[in-house]
Amino acid sequence: MTPKLPLAAITDEFCPDVERALEAMAAIGMTGVELRMIGERNIMDVPDEELDQVIRQVRKRGMQIVSIASPLLKCVLPGAPEIDQRFQQDSFASKHAYEDQPRLAERAFAIAEKCGARIVRVFSYWRTVAPEKCFDAIVQALTTLCEKAAPRGLIIGLENEHACNISTGAETARLLAALDHPNLKVVWDPGNAMVSGEVPFPDGYRKLPPERIIHVHAKDCHMEGHRPVWGPLGTRAVDWKGQIRALLEDGYRGYLSLETHWGGPGGDKFLGSVICGWNLRGLAAA
């Protein structure tokens, strides 16, 4: 059961203890690591000496940090229409506002360089009732980030996030067409597209230029109205078999990265992530 694509995970989807998360990830055969929270703190607020310890923990297992799952542009855009209250806003202990974004960007870039990560994950401001009215501001913000990332050799990975203004494959494709910058790529999340009301595969995916997908997040759900019901990866409504097959056919060779979301059997999130991790390995090997 050898995966045809490399596997990764966001460590805190297993548990806040990085060492325990890495142990479980390594047992599944994951070689990539995404950092979002360390303990109870967002990665943006973790001091360098603690980051150094995490880096040592990752490297001693022969793994690599591939992405900094930052909260950049996960905030309210001033002057924008009112926030769309249908979607839950997960901030992962990030309390940063619009005014903090330039400082956060510099910190995210510094963390990526320290960790040897190529991708800095970003968003598109909290979703409003009229996301099209935020489009120009999003393009401007991403342009600035790309221009700052380029000299450092970093990639700005825009995640389609259901609680943000760019949430579907269609919206992402429009953004990419408006900003054809070599340092702007996509963190494609089919689960988020589904929560946004799009059929993620094949509909949303087929709208994207596959060469601009740099990273893929894996989770699974079905919808009950506007509410996602998360479950074991590969057992819900996202066509993960078709999605992975298409990625391979289109030449994608990046990571499939677990972002469990499911609370696990009996509320055991760690066990839930272990189950989803093995499911992901099986799907990637099929």
Q: What is the pLDDT of residues 218-235, one digit of tens each?
A: 999 999 988 999 999 999
Average pLDDT for residues 115-135, to the nearest whole number?
98
Average pLDDT for residues 243-269, to the nearest whole number?
98
E strands within 94-235?
A: 119-122, 155-159, 184-188, 213-218, 221-224, 227-230
What is the pLDDT of the chain when averaged over all its residues?
Answer: 96
pLDDT attached to residue 91: 62
pLDDT attached to residue 92: 61
Q: Please check the confidence at residue 184 and state whether its pLDDT lies above 90.
A: yes
Give residue-wise pLDDT tens across range 2-59: 999 999 999 999 999 999 999 999 999 999 999 999 999 999 999 999 999 999 999 9
Structure tokens at 32: 């990539």
Q: Please check the confidence at residue 93 and state whether its pLDDT lies above 70.
A: no
Give residue-wise pLDDT tens across range 77-87: 999 999 998 88
Backbone angles phi, psi at 59, to 5 degrees: -70, -30
Q: Among 3.10.20.30, 3.20.20.150, 3.40.50.1100, 3.40.50.10440, what is the CATH number of 7-285?
A: 3.20.20.150
